Chain A
Amino acid sequence: MTAYLLGRFVSLALSLVAASLVIFLVLEIVPGDPASFMMGINADPQAIAALRSQLGLDEPIHLRYLGWVAGLLHGDFGMSYTYRVPVADLIAERVVISLPLTLYALALSTIIAFPAGIIAAARRNSATDVAVMGATQIGVAIPNFWFAMLLVLVFSINLRIFSAGGFPGWEAGFLPAMKALTLPAVALALPQASILARVMRSSLLDTLHEDFMRSARAKGLTRSQALWRHALRNALIPVLTIVGLQFSFLLAGGIIIENVFYLPGLGRLVFQGITQRDLIVVRSVVIVLVFAVIAVTFLVDVAYAIADPRLRRHGR
């Protein structure tokens, strides 16, 4: 197991390095040079020169990359050009909204999807199955930001149960904060839950056809005993991958949803960075999100090793 996880760890560390290179290079090839891009067309040449030296653009490219990475390792993301504060502080303020939102949505998605997928598979071709599958088919087709607008229309404007946006801050208490995150989380979660329920159902149906399910029935297990004791754990293995991928979808989806609900999270930060051409902020937020995705991928690999003994004994 350690050999397997060590191997996965090294490969993920390598993809993190590769990702940082890609992010660095994409922003390096902006039209013109980063300094004039950030300052705009009408900027004062002196101000551009000052920014150039602040960004270290006079140094060779590989030194700048290494300097950036070294800074990242110390938690130093550089100074924001527009806010004039360390980017690390900006991110720290925002991540306490974006991360809970993503996890909230992921929890909702799994809580809805697992039972729905299991029931649909267990009662294949029944009315329940058809209803669940029909609902998920529509859920998959709904853009989450449109769904968010509909939720606002119904629950904020008409029913006035939730506020239409904004965030009171965690210091206002856990429940008010969670309440502010509820509509955004639901908007994010439902389309993803539809996907997850479909994957759960089809994975379970595939497992139900396996030979060992017939062995279980021949032992005297009822259909549902066989499903719970033997099919579920096997079916979960491919589903884990999708749960991991959903984290990445939800994190990215959050960027858009935060804009619908005016939540001051990383998504708002990155758009402000884009409109104000603050490449340092954009680059930092992107690398933080990629790091989060890669970390979750590693957690999924760990979960894999726990769920599947064939991986646990890998390398023996």
Chain B
Amino acid sequence: MSAHARRTGIVSAAVHHPAFMAGIVLSSIFVVAALLSFVWTPQDPLRLDIPGKLRTPSLAHWFGTDHFGRDMFSMIMVGARVSMAVAFVAVGIGMLAGVPLGLYAASRRGSLVDEFIMRGNDLIFAFPSLLLAIMITAVFGPGAVNAIIAIGIFNIPVFARLSRGAALSLWTRDYVLAARVAGKGRLRISAEHILPNIVNLLIVQGTIQFSLAILAEAALAYVGLGAQPPLPSWGRMLADAQTLISLAPHMALFPGLAIVVTVLGLNLLGDGLRDLHDPRSRRTRP
């Protein structure tokens, strides 16, 4: 089987994986909505219209209006942009810091550096993640940037552990020994032989962390520690909806559904990617 055939194999396997395709479709809705919100929303999401408040869904306001008469559909589109930006940067921080730390720790297995990195990770794990996020935003003030930092910090140990664990098993492979016999240093082996072979794993975990980051951002925004008004955010829209829930249930329904659909899509995508790369579920040998 040539490399080309292998690639088309993956594509056809992907097309025949319904959960994976559902994941692609659901997450695309979210990405498209976020990108589109930069150039177009059905209404101005910031325009107040007090007389037209708490309208139920209609042709003019697809998801109804909130307690200030703002268009919920437009707000959800802009909210997608905020959620995506926060989650993307936070997971990026986690990967950029965590993966090199994990690879370095694995290349120096059992050394003091390894011990130090792993104990540091344990320490972050010992904090309930939301709690430290709350603490950080409480001290430095609420806002999207602090939310990103708080969520990003918790992604570091996730990626550090994952890449260290995967790298440790690769370090015992004969091809790594062969590279050492060929005189290659630890850094070079990590870059040349270890990292490319754990990239799939990182992508899968990255998707899952992305969805967790969206949930975390929503929770922070819900308690008032996320993006600040007037920037719309899903979590705060839910907080606003809470007191009015018996009057206007639609205000609680749509932002919540937006979160569920997005997270569901990303999780399905992550699971699908794992299935497609798992040698147990796919034939890779000719």
Contacts and interface: CB of A to CB of B under 8 A. Distances in A.
Interface of A: 14-15, 18-19, 22-23, 26-27, 29-31, 137-138, 140-143, 145-146, 149-150, 152-153, 157, 248-249, 251-253, 255-256, 259-260, 270-271, 274, 282, 286, 289-290, 293-294, 297
Give 6 nearest A-B pairs by CB, closest first.
Answer: A252-B128, A141-B263, A146-B256, A252-B130, A141-B264, A274-B138
B122 to A, nearest CB: 6
Interface string B232-247: 0000001001100110
Given A141-B261, A143-B222, A256-B219, 17 more contacts: A19-B127, A30-B140, A137-B267, A141-B260, A143-B215, A143-B219, A145-B222, A149-B238, A149-B252, A149-B256, A150-B252, A153-B249, A251-B128, A270-B134, A290-B127, A293-B126, A293-B128
A294 B122 CA distance: 10
Contacts of B122: 15
18 contacts: A14-B119, A26-B139, A27-B135, A137-B264, A137-B267, A137-B268, A141-B211, A143-B260, A146-B256, A153-B249, A248-B126, A251-B128, A252-B128, A252-B131, A255-B131, A256-B130, A286-B131, A290-B128
A105 to B, nearest CB: 14
A282 B134 CA distance: 10
Interface string B253-267: 001100111111001
A256 B131 contact: no
A294 B126 contact: yes
A198 B204 CA distance: 16
Interface residues of B, number: 39
A277 to B, nearest CB: 9
Nearest to B131: A252
Contacts of B255: 146
Contacts of A293: 126-128
B60 interface: no
B126 A19 contact: yes
Helix, strand, loop or mixed for chain B's interface? helix
Nearest to A16: B126
A100 to B, nearest CB: 17
Contacts of A27: 135, 139
B260 A259 contact: no
Given A141-B267, A143-B218, A249-B128, A150 B256 contact: yes
Contacts of B129: 252
A26 B140 CA distance: 10
A18 B262 CA distance: 37
B162 interface: no
Contacts of B261: 141
A259 B127 contact: no
A23 B130 CA distance: 14
A152 B238 CA distance: 14
B189 interface: no
Contacts of A138: 260, 264
B23 to A, nearest CB: 10
Contacts of A14: 119
B260 to A, nearest CB: 5
A219 B166 CA distance: 36
A140 B261 CA distance: 11
A152 B29 CA distance: 29
B123 interface: yes
Contacts of A289: 128, 131
Contacts of A142: 256, 259-260
Interface string B212-226: 000100110011000
